[in-house]
């Protein structure tokens, strides 16, 4: 990995890595896919892939995670960041999405700083998060496996313990295209 400015900044000034985060059900996967599809040479990197690759011994994050859950979370992030850097070095714009909350968001931006990443936080209301979660096949909120988080509790972590860096968007009343339009407009303005 070189991580040098010449290989990490495209000619048009658009960020080489876009980090999309937010609570579960915020629309990260859908928005990241749509954003990547609108860029000329892009990768949609799903951070959760590295969690799902663990076949046995996986420990899920919860409200009071055991040390092994935190160790696996850090490993998941490190693997994703390494892959993001390699794709960026190969000339792709990487749209990297994952649930990155608390100190980990600043850690991600710091780890990838040579790529001058853009950070986008999708922040719909707790009511919208809950409704989206109920409409999905995999429900997270109020699931005992995940420590019985509610949408309001995870949003509290987002708002009270996550550094307010990057572009924060209340996407409660937006569809996917509107969100992607806003991201593209704002990231191009910051060139």
Q: What is the mean pLDDT of the chain?
A: 88
Q: Domain locations in the chain?
A: 11-189
CA distances from 95 to 85, 91, 159, 163 (A): 11, 13, 23, 20
Whether 4 has a pLDDT exceeding 80, the answer reads no
Residues 6+ apart with CB under 8 A from 11: none
Which pLDDT tens digit goes with each residue over 116-170? Answer: 999 999 999 999 998 888 887 776 776 655 557 788 888 999 999 999 999 999 9
CATH of 11-189, one of 3.40.50.300, 3.20.20.140, 3.40.50.720, 3.40.120.10: 3.40.50.300
pLDDT digits 0-9 by tens, 117-128: 999 999 999 999
Model pLDDT, residue 172: 95
pLDDT of residue 12: 62
pTM flag (> 0.75): yes
Give tens-digit pLDDT for 58-100. 888 877 788 999 999 999 999 999 999 999 999 999 999 999 9
Neighbours of 124 (CB within 10 A): 24
């Amino acid at each position: 990995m070189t991580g040098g400015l010449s290989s990490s900044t495209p000619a048009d000034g658009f960020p080489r890595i876009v980090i999309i985060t937010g609570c579960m059900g915020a629309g990260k996967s859908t928005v990241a896919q749509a954003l990547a599809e609108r860029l000329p040479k892009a990768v949609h990197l799903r951070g959760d892939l590295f969690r799902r690759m663990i076949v046995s011994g996986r420990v899920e994050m919860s409200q009071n995670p055991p040390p092994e859950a935190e160790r696996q979370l850090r490993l998941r992030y490190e693997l994703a960041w390494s892959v993001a850097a390699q794709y960026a070095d190969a000339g792709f714009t990487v749209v990297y999405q994952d649930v990155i909350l608390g100190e980990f968001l600043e850690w991600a931006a710091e780890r990838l700083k040579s790529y001058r990443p853009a950070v986008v936080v999708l922040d719909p209301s707790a009511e919208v998060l809950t409704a989206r979660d109920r409409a999905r096949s995999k429900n997270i909120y109020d699931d005992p496996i995940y420590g019985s988080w509610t949408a309001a509790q995870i949003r509290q972590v987002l708002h009270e313990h996550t550094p307010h860096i990057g572009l924060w968007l209340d996407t409660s009343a937006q569809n996917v295209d509107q969100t992607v339009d806003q991201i593209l407009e704002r990231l191009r303005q910051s060139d």
